[in-house]
Amino acid sequence: MAYLVPVATMALMAISVALILGLVKNLLTVEGEAKVKIVNDGNELVLPLEQNLMQALKKAGYDLFAQCGGKGTCATCRVKVLEGLKPEQITPAMLGPLSDKLRKEGWVLSCQISLKNDLKIELFKPLVMGWPKVEGKAEEAPKAPALSPAAAKLRAVLPGFDCLACGYPTCEEFAEALASGKAKIDGCYPGGKPVLERLKQAALEAGVKAS
Ligand code: FES
């Protein structure tokens, strides 16, 4: 019978360790959900906490460009947070290459956000392909600045998303930079090959030496 004491002690110790490990795991695992209200279409997603916002949006059918694949360098996944993100929660990674103007307007990179609480967001509409529910009237196009004739030709074949992926705040500025030889002709990543081909043709017609 004497051997039963150490066996029982060891069993008790094993159970205690298992209980402690279970407790620690529970403490470390964040459980719960957050609601993400999308003002563009009124949709409300219920998502697990700590989920990456960009991935969750894509999974829900919002086909964001997310050109850099979530590295936080292209700004094409940006969303404007209208509610639920306090200034002290915003990290430098969430702002990435966004211009001061966009930062002030409340845009952040969705690929750099893991959900901590409910959010109300606006998606950058032109970047959303395969839009699930497109309703309402079209937004008024912003007034384009006057461009040089060559830049105007180049601008005419750009998508007009102002996505920042080329490094310029607007397609107009990219076109002007192309026309003056400061930008590379393959800078419009979202446009891909079709836009590149059209840009080359437009550059030829406008007498722009493209590189
Ligand atoms: S996917 Fe490129 S910055 Fe988010």
- Does any ligand 1 atom lie closer than 6 A to the CB of residue 163? no
For residue 70, the ligand 1 atom closest to its alpha carbon is 1
Measured between alpha carbons, how far is 126 from 63 in angstroms, rounded to an integer? 11
Quick: pLDDT tens for 91-142: 999 998 887 888 898 999 999 999 999 999 998 865 444 333 334 443 444 5
Tokens of 197: 């081909």
Instruction: Output the pTM of the full model.
Output: 0.64
Residue indicated by tokens 């069993």: 11
pLDDT of res. 143: 55
Instruction: Using the predicted structure, report yes or no on whether residue 189 has a pLDDT greater than 80.
Output: no
Quick: pLDDT tens for 2-43: 656 666 666 656 655 555 555 444 444 457 999 999 998 899
Of 155, 184, 157, 186, the closest CA to residue 172 belongs to: 155
For residue 72, the ligand 1 atom closest to its alpha carbon is 3
**Structure-model confidence comparison of residues 30 and 75, the more confident one:** 75
- Does any ligand 1 atom lie closer than 6 A to the CB of residue 75? yes
- Does any ligand 1 atom lie closer than 6 A to the CB of residue 190? no
Neighbours of 23 (CB within 10 A): 10
Q: Calculate how far, in angstroms, residue 139's C-alpha sits from the geometric centre of ligand 1.
A: 24
Q: Which domains does the chain have, with CATH numbers?
A: 33-129 (3.10.20.30), 149-206 (1.10.15.40)
- Does any ligand 1 atom lie closer than 6 A to the CB of residue 74? yes
- Does any ligand 1 atom lie closer than 6 A to the CB of residue 109? yes
